[in-house]
Copies of this chain bind each other. A is one copy, B any other.
Amino acid sequence: MKFSINRSKFIEQLNNVQLAISSRSTIPILSGIKLVAQNNQLILTGSDADISVEASIEVNEESQLEIEKTGSIVVMPARMLMDIVKKLPDEKVIIELKESTQVSIDSKTSSFVINGIEADQYPHLPEIDANKKIELPAQLFKQVVRQTVIAVSKHESRPILTGVEFSIETNKLTAVATDSHRLSKRTITLEESYPNSLDFVIPGKSLTELNRIISDDIETLDLYVTDSQVLFALPQINFYSRLLEGNYPNTDQLIPSESNTKVILNADLFEAAVDRASLLSHAGKNNVIKLIIANDQMEVFGDYPGVGQIEEDIPFKSIEGDVIEISFNPDYMKQALNAFGPVEVGIELVGALRPFIIKPSDGSLDFVQLITPIRTPE
């Protein structure tokens, strides 16, 4: 194997593949990056067993890729290759497989040799049936992930809740996540209809990494789903993730359909106030704030013995319905409001001990977030 390549293009795809590589893998070869030089392209592969990323760089003017000799190797550790390439003194890099499994990296006056392992020892990526393709609008899907992944559970006690459930029915894709204290649910319409409904749960961590790879210029993602794996095909990049096993709980009945109090306000102003309150609540024993909604006033209170007190008047557009006093985790509220961005939202409440929901006030998105209150001592 021997090739030369433009350093910046090489770094770009090394960065994408690096996302899948964990420096703490228990499988030694997974700390490496697989390089395969074919006649017309170079393929880079990284994996942490949960996620695998395969990126290709084609022979063209931009990449300045020249394959002098085809072949393959796993360079170990991937981090070292990345660090070296980033610091090389010239824009042209030459990579060559030397005797046994040593790999040389040359650029102008600089010459490195680092270790490799034979590529046939690298685990195979899952086989995917290319016929079952679902086309996703890339930027919209990225937003769906961002808005739902906040609500996945961080605890392994119920592994299925560490993922986002996706359901596809005809031309609707719905994403739901809940850690049993809060829930986020978003539905979007797809361009095409799919006759066979699908239901699968992708680990939250995989989705966070996927979102990093979806750059702003990508329009469409092709999704392929198998029993245990998904593949997101982007231009030049294949992103694989394992699926979570088990049945996702039915969440439909959790979302209240009626309310006794309704507030319309700017999500970002409320978010800033909750953020300030959390400065004290994080230092206190109980990470709780209290919201009081009266006829013509909305206030946030917090009293943290030994730390301090906070009181905030929250600007709002309208308040309807019953007076209510309700307590909740400010972090859940902050993340929920942040997922809407600086728009007007409606907060709909049933009672002090009942979950409440937040929705876009103009109904522009099929998006709802739910937060369960915390019972506080009187």
Chain A contact residues, CB within 8 Å of chain B: 80, 83-84, 87-89, 102, 109-115, 272-273, 275-276, 279-280, 283, 306-315
Other A-B contacts than A110-B273, A112-B276, 20 sampled, CB-CB below 8 A, are A80-B279, A80-B280, A80-B307, A83-B279, A84-B279, A87-B272, A87-B279, A89-B273, A89-B276, A109-B273, A110-B313, A111-B310, A111-B312, A112-B309, A112-B310, A113-B308, A113-B309, A113-B310, A115-B306, A115-B307
- How far apart are A75's CB and chain B's nearest CB, in angstroms? 10
Residue of B nearest to A111 (CB): B311
Tell whether A308 pairs with B114 under 8 Å between CB atoms, given A279-B83, A279-B87: yes
CB distance from A291 to the nearest CB of B (A): 14
In the complex, how many angstroms separate the beta carbon of A187 from the nearest chain B beta carbon? 34
Which of B102, B276, B306 contacts A110 (CB under 8 A)? Answer: B276
User: What residues on B are CB-neighbors of A309 within 8 Å?
Assistant: 112-113
| 10 residue pairs from A and B, CB less than 8 Å apart | A80-B307, A83-B279, A87-B272, A89-B272, A89-B273, A110-B311, A110-B313, A112-B308, A113-B308, A113-B310
Partner of A88, one of B102, B112, B276, B314: B276
Chain B, residue nearest A84 (CB)? B279
CA distance A84 to B272 in the complex (A): 11
A120 CB to closest chain B CB, in angstroms? 22
Complex interface: chain B residues within 8 A of A273 (CB): 89, 109-110
Contact check, A312 vs B110: say whether CB atoms are below 8 A apart: yes
- List the 6 closest pairs (A to B, CB-CB), nearest first: A114-B308, A109-B313, A113-B309, A111-B311, A87-B276, A83-B279
Which B residues touch A112, using CB under 8 A? 276, 280, 308-310
CB of A314 within 8 A of CB of B109, answer yes
